[in-house]
Structure formats: structure tokens, C-alpha cells
């Protein structure tokens, strides 16, 4: 596989569609996207203005997809995109953008700049200008079963632990159950308590579930790297397992881009709708709550705030659900400024967290979130993305912040009312 400039340019050309053309046609370089960008705001360096990050794609569009550009091109008035350009743009496209989507919400003409970054990465990776960590993760995941390497033994061990802890059976590869759960590598390696939490909540709700031994991992580095081939392969793995097991649905875990990959990009990657539904774990919990199948007892008196993962709220539409769940048992739930759709990113999304050279910039960018957290002074920060959790753990340590960080599913399980004989005990 040779990664060449021509391949990169072709990949970029392929990404240019009517929305992209309408976006570039509409940009009046007002620069308001800068004010929405955590990397610009934290550094005030104009090179981080979001729309500048997709400049090379704009040049290709202008040069090849507009009449005037083509004429100007014939007279040599437009610069072609060179390999050096792509190389120069690598850090802008991968290190200083978490694809958080704030710019997309503020652009006065409505440009979805985040989507264009996603597209831009297709060209960058095809031309061989992607961070080595993402390339390595893609290799490990497509060759094996997770971006972190072989986690098949780890998942078996964690499931066994959860069974021992809860006394509830969790069966691998069980056909005909309601849901197939997938987990993020981060959860398996770092936050495995979510398994016991799910087991208890689902048992109480009378919901049956399983884990596929050949498709237990939910992350999809393909959409961070910008490789439809990688992304398609990883989505296909989950789809094959779910359809083989004949489940009603797949539960997307507390992981931002995993939800984005399977729920929104997946059907387009494999070219068809699935034979099952994809539901985010927090959507499912909220649904169970609404149906009276999830009840809590006791109250949490700690000061709790919620960190919205960009890909799940702003880019994923799950906003009220976590708040309804938190309000079931929180006595002191406080929102930060801009909570919900306009929440600031933790700084680790979109592959930035895996990218070592981006670390200093990422720490600087966390400033935006830190100011908000410092203002509400919570005891606990709750989130619904294991990678946000992981990133916050790291930056909290870096900035000597004492707050505890908890995944929402785990917290719900902590307050789960599983005493009364309730709604069916199928599992």
C-alpha cells in the first residue's frame, strides 16, 4: 500500500459534495468559528481558526469544481496543493481539532466545518500524513480486536470479575437475546466496572443481553484517522456479529466516536441500513427509566456536574437523557456554563488524545473546560464517554484537580433499586 500525494488528492476530491461546495461558497471569512474553537480560544493563535484547517480542501474545490477556478487554473493563477502543503496541514487537521463541532454550531452561514475536517482527514491519511499513533491503532484494530492490541483475554477476565461481583450470569455469543453490548477498549482496560453495572441494571429491567467474543470492541479509529476502509471494516465486524446473533439491538457504549461511527456513519460505510437498532447505553437507560423498568433508591448528596461528550451530545443529539437520569438521585446537580449543546470539549477527542506530540496543546486547550469546572466546584464530574473520562483523569492529575470522575452507567447502578421484586427476571 503506497500512500502518495495523488491518492490523497483523489480521496479529497471524492469527499467534495454539494454540502461542501455550498459551505465554501458561503464562507465570508468572518472568523466567528475561531471564537467557538477550544484550540483557538486557549492559544489565540490565528493558525487554529477552524476554517483555515480545511483550506487545502477549499483550494481543490475552487480549482477543480468551479468554472472560474478552472479558468484561473488554466492560466496558472491558482496554486496546486502539494505534498508539502499536506504535510504542513497535518498538525492543524489532527492535533488542533477534536472534531468537537462547536464551530459548526456558530457559523453564521451554516458551514459544517467539523464534517469538512472529517473529510479532510480522508485525504490526509491517504496521502500518508496522519499521526503514527492513529495509523498504528488502525493496524492493531484491523489485524486484531482492539486499537490497544489483543483484548480478548482481558474481556473474558473482566466479564468473569463482573459475574463474581454481581452473581449475575453474562453469557458470550448468546443468540436471540435483546441486545448485544459492545465496549470501548478504554472501558475494558481502564473502567471495567461498567460491566457489573450493566449486568445489574439489565437484570433488574428484565432485559437480556450478550457480548460477542469476536466483536466486543466498539471504538473505530477509522473515523478519527479518516479512513473509510478501516472504518467500514470495523463497523462490518459489529454488524456481522449482531446479525449472526439475531439481536434486536446493539448497545453503543459510553464512548463518543464509537456512537458516531456505528450509529451515524456505519450504515453509510457498509452501504445499507442494519437489521437491528443501535442505541446508546444512556439512551437505553433513559428509555428503561421512562418505562418504569429502571428505578433508583437513595440520594447522592455530593455536588455533581456533568461533562457532555461532544460526539454524544453536540454531534449525537443525546442531551436531556443523562440529565433526567442524574436527577433521579442527585440532590446537588449543578450545570457548568455552556452545559449541554455548547459544552467545551475535554480536549482528547477526535484522536487528539492518542497523539503524543499534541499533548502540550491538549493540556493548554483543557483550560476552557477547567475554567467552567472551577466555577461550579463539583465533588464529582459525571460523563458518558470513557475517553472523556480517561482524558479528564489525565488532565486533572496534570492540574492537581481533586474531583472524582465517574461514568454515568456506573453511577446509576450505584443507586439502582434492585431490592423490590420488580419487572421480570428473564436474565
Partner 1 sequence: MNNEAFDLLMWARGPAFDIAIIIFLGGIVLRVVEILVLGRKKDMAPPKGNPVGQGIRTVFSRTSPPEGLVKFAPITYIGGYIFHIGFFIAFFFFAPHIALFEDAFGISWPGWGRAIIEGATALALLALIALFYTRISDPIRRSLTTFDDYIVLILSALPLITGYVAVNKLFGDPTFMMALHVLSVNALLIAFPFTKLMHAVTFVMARYYNGTIQGRKGAES
Nearer to partner 1, 92 or 199 (CB): 92
Nearer to partner 1, 10 or 319 (CB): 319
How many residues sit in the footprint of partner 1 (CB under 8 A)? 60
Report the greatest alpha carbon distance in the chain. Answer: 79
Nearest Cα residue to 100 out of 344, 363, 362: 344
Residue with cell 495523488: 6
Say which DSSP state 311 is in: T
Order across the sheet with 277-280: list the strands: 209-210, 179-181, 249-252, 277-280
The β-bridge relationship of strands 249-252 and 277-280 is parallel
Nearest distance from C-beta of residue 58 to partner 1, angstroms: 11
Site string for partner 1, 335-354 (x = CB under 8 A): ---x--xx------------
Nearer to partner 1, 269 or 408 (CB): 269
Angle subtended by helix axes 113-126 and 18-26, to nearest 10 = 120
> Would you tell me how many other CB atoms lie within 10 Å of the CB of residue 410?
19
- Of 112-131, binders to partner 1 (CB under 8 A) are 112, 115
- Of 42-101, binders to partner 1 (CB under 8 A) are 44, 46-47, 49, 51-52, 65-68
Nearer to partner 1, 14 or 356 (CB): 14
Nearest distance from C-beta of residue 131 to partner 1, angstroms: 25
> In this structure, what C-alpha cell is assigned to residue 215?
466483536
Nearer to partner 1, 376 or 401 (CB): 376
Which helix or strand (DSSP H or E) is residue 377 part of? none
For partner 1, the binding residue among 27, 135, 334, 376 (CB under 8 A) is 27
Nearest distance from C-beta of residue 247 to partner 1, angstroms: 16
Nearest distance from C-beta of residue 61 to partner 1, angstroms: 9
Q: For residue 374, what are the contacts with CB-CB under 8 A and spacing of at least 6? A: none
CB 391 within 8 Å of CB 352: no
Nearest distance from C-beta of residue 114 to partner 1, angstroms: 9
Q: What are the two backbone dihedrals, phi and then psi, of residue 55, each rounded to the nearest 5 degrees?
A: -55, -40
CB 340 within 8 Å of CB 118: no
For partner 1, the binding residue among 319, 364, 403, 423 (CB under 8 A) is 319
Nearest distance from C-beta of residue 230 to partner 1, angstroms: 19
Nearest distance from C-beta of residue 323 to partner 1, angstroms: 14
Interaction of residue 135 with partner 1, rule CB under 8 A = no
Beta bridge partners of 405: 381
Nearer to partner 1, 127 or 261 (CB): 261
Nearer to partner 1, 264 or 415 (CB): 264
Nearest distance from C-beta of residue 317 to partner 1, angstroms: 3
Order across the sheet with 404-407: list the strands: 330-333, 300-307, 380-383, 404-407
Interaction of residue 18 with partner 1, rule CB under 8 A = yes
Amino acid at each position: 500500500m503506497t500512500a502518495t500525494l495523488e491518492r490523497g488528492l483523489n480521496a479529497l476530491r471524492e469527499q467534495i459534495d454539494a454540502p461542501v461546495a455550498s459551505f465554501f461558497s458561503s464562507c465570508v471569512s468572518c472568523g466567528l468559528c475561531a471564537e467557538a474553537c477550544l484550540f483557538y480560544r486557549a492559544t489565540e493563535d490565528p493558525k487554529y481558526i477552524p476554517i483555515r484547517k480545511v483550506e487545502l480542501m477549499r483550494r481543490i474545490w475552487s480549482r477543480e469544481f468551479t468554472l472560474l477556478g478552472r479558468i484561473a487554473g488554466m492560466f496558472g493563477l491558482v496554486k496546486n496543493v502539494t505534498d508539502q502543503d499536506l504535510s504542513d496541514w497535518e498538525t492543524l487537521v489532527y492535533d488542533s481539532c477534536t472534531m468537537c463541532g462547536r464551530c459548526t454550531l456558530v457559523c453564521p452561514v451554516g458551514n459544517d466545518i467539523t464534517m469538512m475536517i472529517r473529510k479532510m482527514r480522508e485525504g490526509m491519511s491517504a496521502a500518508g500524513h496522519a499521526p503514527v499513533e492513529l495509523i498504528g491503532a488502525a493496524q492493531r484494530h484491523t489485524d486484531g480486536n482492539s486499537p490497544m492490541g489483543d483484548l480478548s483475554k482481558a474481556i473474558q477476565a473482566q466479564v468473569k470479575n463482573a459475574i463474581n461481583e454481581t452473581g449475575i450470569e453474562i453469557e458470550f455469543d448468546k443468540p436471540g437475546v435483546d441486545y448485544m453490548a459492545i465496549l470501548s477498549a478504554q472501558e475494558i482496560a481502564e473502567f471495567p466496572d461498567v460491566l457489573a453495572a450493566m449486568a445489574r441494571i439489565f437484570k433488574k429491567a428484565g432485559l437480556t443481553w450478550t457480548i460477542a467474543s469476536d466483536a466486543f470492541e466498539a471504538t473505530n479509529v477509522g473515523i478519527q484517522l479518516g479512513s473509510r476502509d478501516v472504518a467500514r471494516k470495523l463497523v462490518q465486524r459489529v454488524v456481522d456479529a449482531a446479525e449472526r446473533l439475531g439481536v434486536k439491538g446493539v448497545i453503543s457504549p459510553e464512548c463518543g466516536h464509537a456512537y458516531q461511527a456505528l450509529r451515524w456513519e456505519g450504515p453509510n460505510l457498509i452501504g445499507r441500513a442494519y437489521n437491528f437498532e443501535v442505541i446508546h447505553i444512556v439512551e437505553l437507560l433513559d428509555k428503561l427509566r421512562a418505562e418504569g423498568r429502571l428505578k433508583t433508591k437513595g440520594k447522592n448528596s455530593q455536588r455533581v456536574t456533568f461533562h457532555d461528550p461532544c460526539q454524544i451530545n453536540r454531534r449525537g443529539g443525546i442531551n436531556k437523557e443523562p440529565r433526567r437520569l442524574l436527577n433521579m438521585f442527585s440532590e446537588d446537580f449543578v450545570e457548568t456554563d455552556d452545559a449541554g449543546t455548547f459544552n467545551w470539549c475535554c480536549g482528547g477527542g477526535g484522536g487528539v488524545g492518542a497523539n503524543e506530540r499534541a499533548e502540550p496543546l491538549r493540556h493548554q486547550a483543557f483550560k476552557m473546560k477547567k475554567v467552567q469546572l472551577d466555577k461550579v466546584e463539583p465533588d464529582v464530574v459525571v460523563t458518558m464517554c470513557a475517553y472523556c473520562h480517561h482524558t479528564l483523569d489525565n488532565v486533572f492529575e496534570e492540574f492537581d484537580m481533586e474531583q472524582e470522575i465517574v461514568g454515568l452507567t456506573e453511577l446509576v447502578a450505584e443507586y439502582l433499586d434492585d431490592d423490590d421484586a420488580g419487572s421480570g427476571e428473564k436474565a
